[in-house]
Amino acid sequence: MKEYFVDITEPALADMDDIYQYTIKRFGDPARAGKLYDTIAKEILSLERMPLRYGIPQFEPCIRLELRRMLVDKYSVFYLVDGDTVTVTDVIYSSSDLEARLGQRHDESTG
């Protein structure tokens, strides 16, 4: 089975750190925050195999950039597949306005 290299961008790592910090503030439980962080990281690393199993959401900028979305707990992990590389770009709370948040981030970086 083909394996892909998984690259997690600085903004995605910052998202994960923000989730970790928020979970500690919200629940006062560093162990819970660490478990959530580890779960997200483990699922991201699972993209080394079959990253095309997740689809491209039908909104911008996902369509334009071919960003795929994987759900992990209450979070959406967005990533690109280019050749043998999977690049994780964003980790965002799924109940937020994903289209607006991704649009702000990716329109700034491309335009």
90-100 b/e (C-beta count within 10 Å ≥ 16 → b)? bbbeeeeebee
Instruction: State how far the alpha carbon of 31 is from the alpha carbons of 14, 26, 80, in Å.
Output: 19, 13, 31
CATH number at residue 22: 3.30.2310.20
Give the number of domains in the chain.
1
The whole-model pTM stands at: 0.93
Q: Is residue 34 part of a domain?
A: yes
**Is 84 domain-assigned?**
yes
Residue 101 lies in a domain: yes
In a domain, 25, yes or no: yes
pLDDT digits (tens, 9 = 90+) for 27-83: 999 999 999 999 999 999 999 999 999 999 999 999 999 999 999 999 999 999 999
CB atoms within 10 A of CB 46: 14
Residue 42 belongs to some domain of the structure:
yes
What residues make up the domain containing 63? 5-106
Residue 111 lies in a domain: no
